[in-house]
Amino acid sequence: MTHLALPLAAATPSTGFGALDWLFVGAYFAVLLGITWWSVKRARDTAADYFLAGRHLGWWIVGASIFASNIGSEHLVGLAGSGCTDGVALAHYELHAWCLLVLGWVFVPFYMRSMVYTMPEFLEKRFSPPARWVLSVISLVAYVLTKIAVGIFAGGVVFGTLLPELHLDLGFAALDSFWVGSIAVLLATGLYTVLGGFRAVAYTEAVQTGVLVVGSALVTVFGLAQLGGWAELRAALPSDLFNLWKPLIPAGVEGTWAPVREPGRMAWYFNGRFPWLGMLFCAPIIGLWYWCTDQYIVQRALGAPNEREARRGTICASFLKLLPVFIFIIPGMICFALALSGKAPALASLAGPDGAPDREACQAAFPLMVAHVLPAGVRGIVVAGLLAALMSSLSGVFNASSTLFTVDLYGKFRPGATQHELVRMGRIATAVMVVIGLLWIPVIQGSKGLYFYLQAMQGYLAPPIFVVFFLGVFLKRVNAAGCLAALVAGFALGVFRLLVDTPIALGLAGYEQGYPEGSLLWIVNNIYFQYFSLMIFVICVLVMVGVSWLTAPPPEDRLRGLTFATLSADDRARSRASWTRWDVLASCAVLALILLAYLYFTG
């Protein structure tokens, strides 16, 4: 039994998962099987078809696929858990839907003109082959340490909570519900990703989006019904939990930008109180990196046939991205309100003796709501939505990883490889990622603070990539030497911080009390992660600009069409022809909804 699943499973009674629930789950898997079969029958043995679905995805498939790829296990477990403990504070990250508009209006034209398969390939066109290789290797490592690790861990939490009685005796080993669920989801996802390629991934993600949104909305509806409505939710919880800004400025640091720390061996994680300066400046850097430059997300837009469909897909995704506040964070808050009010006795353990949330137990807020609030039948629909989120995030990272490995690494070392060979290597790479994911399960069993951990990891990895892409597009003077120097410097600083933090986070022998106070390592470990991320960002900007200006400017022929300053009149005319006033109005509507959310959750 896993470190986390054991107490949850022990405290959770049978969910009464009935025949009707299993019928819905079975229907969900039948639909996935049908889509995979259809994708295999339609597939052509070419790299463009396997990795980008032949660039034939319509805007609604692009939008739904982007949303489903983003909404994964870290939201089901981590974001709902943060709502249970900290209210709407992390809605800041979800309200970064405007970053998708930056992707559609600023970057999509450059990506579509260059006809690239991957983000590292775009860096090669703009800068140099070494920049491509560096970004490819770092991206693959980051996917294993963050997306795959997080997906497996959250899958185990979901199954350990919903089906604690599920066991499998293999003779040589007995697997509990954590292992059975994690392995089943991992293998099923790997199977349809390997067989169907990106077409299967994109179309299953479109179906999963509908299942996920409907299922999660039902959790909100039934949770509010049991609690007594929205007014009861506001009355049951402190007003600070409904304020986007109050949790960012804890007592004692008003008007300051002092890092807020929590003592103990898990101090490098978020502690539920977020300094406003870090959230204001660091969170957008992470958001723009993720939405505009990460292969995991951008690959969906690259699968569109043209700039218009890709842009409309990002606008569609930006609307969908506003939903997690209401279908994940709010259910987490409802869960804690039910625990405090006593209207759901099975959830009482989420609140400690002093009425404060139990942070470890609250990680299971969403599956606990499914288990104890929803009626039979409805529970099956929501569990299908849970599976959709778990599988969509894993399938996205499997496909993105195989694309990076095959196109950016294998294709470079074997330039004469046939299209069939590239597709075969893509399938092998995906299978290897599945195996690595299975082997990684024991490593992540002791993890906690899932969503917060993920944001911290991304905070160390995002700044150098953000800098090279944004400066590369907006400043034609920055060159290959500056790009490579910024990438290396930024990643070195991020890895250094991780090496310093890891012994403390794991509580290794000799590190229980942390580093000697006042030492260099103590200072590094105690800098709040968002401020350290901002420091990496500033250093990368200075390094890239400084090195570029000290070396020769890039040749004009390399820059043509890859920076704003080198766009031709034809390039600008084609981009202008790709959008209408309805695209502009839809984008403005997204911004208006974000503003309304900030106004409502402030005060």
Residue among 456, 357, 447, 370 nearest 93 (CA): 456
DSSP state of 346: G
Q: Which has more pLDDT, 40 or 462?
A: 462
CB-hemisphere CA count at 13 Å for 35?
22
Q: Which has more pLDDT, 376 or 173?
A: 376
Dist CA 31 CA 555 (whole Å): 51
Looking at the DSSP bridge assignments, the partners of residue 169 are 174
Fill in the amino acid letter for 546: G
Instruction: Please tell me whether residue 169 adopts helix, strand or coil conformation.
Output: strand
Q: What's residue 275's pLDDT? A: 65
Q: Which has more pLDDT, 512 or 375?
A: 375
Dist CA 399 CA 405 (whole Å): 10
Is the pLDDT reported for residue 354 higher than 70? no
Q: Are 434 and 143 in contact (CB under 8 A)?
A: no
Q: Are 241 and 273 in contact (CB under 8 A)?
A: no
Q: What is the pTM of this model?
A: 0.78
- The interaxial angle of helices 419-444 and 149-162, nearest 10 deg, is 60
Q: Are 15 and 163 in contact (CB under 8 A)?
A: yes
Mean pLDDT of 482-502: 90
Looking at the DSSP bridge assignments, the partners of residue 174 are 169
pLDDT 10s digits, 543-575: 999 999 999 999 888 888 889 988 989 989 988
**In Å, how far are 86, 234, 298, 331, 334 from 230, measured between CA atoms?**
18, 6, 37, 11, 9
Is the pLDDT reported for residue 172 higher than 70? no
Mean pLDDT of 329-350: 83
Q: Are 88 and 244 in contact (CB under 8 A)?
A: yes
CA 596 to chain centre: 24
- Written as six digits, the tokens of 465 are 């990539």
Most confidently modeled of 62-66, 186-190, 355-359, 567-571? 567-571
Looking at the DSSP bridge assignments, the partners of residue 357 are 351
Dist CA 590 CA 312 (whole Å): 13
**In Å, how far are 68, 161, 182, 337, 417 from 157, measured between CA atoms?**
20, 6, 9, 21, 42
DSSP state letters, 140-167? HHHIIIIIIHHHHHHHHHHHHHH-TT--
Query: Per mean pLDDT, which range of 101-115, 202-216, 267-281, 576-590 is the poorest?
Result: 267-281
Burial label, 275 (beta-carbon count in 10 A; 0-12, 13-18, 19+): buried
DSSP state of 75: I
**In Å, how far are 34, 35, 129, 382, 398 from 30, measured between CA atoms?**
6, 9, 43, 16, 21
| Alpha-carbon torsion angle 51, 54, 60, 64, nearest 10 | -10
Residue among 473, 464, 406 nearest 433 (CA): 406
pLDDT 10s digits, 38-86: 765 665 544 444 444 446 678 888 888 888 777 766 676 677 887 887 7
Is the pLDDT reported for residue 15 higher than 60? no
Percentage of the chain beyond pLDDT 90 is 18
| Alpha-carbon torsion angle 304, 307, 310, 315, nearest 10 | -170
- Please, what are the domains in the chain? 5-600 (1.20.1730.10)
Residue among 355, 76, 350 nearest 237 (CA): 355
Which residue stretches of 58-176 are H helix?
59-70, 73, 80-86, 91-94, 98-102, 108-114, 119-126, 129-142, 149-162
Is the pLDDT reported for residue 252 higher than 70? no
Contacts of 218 (CB under 8 A, 6+ apart): 374, 378, 381, 382
Query: Per mean pLDDT, which range of 1-10, 392-401, 583-592 is the poorest?
Result: 1-10
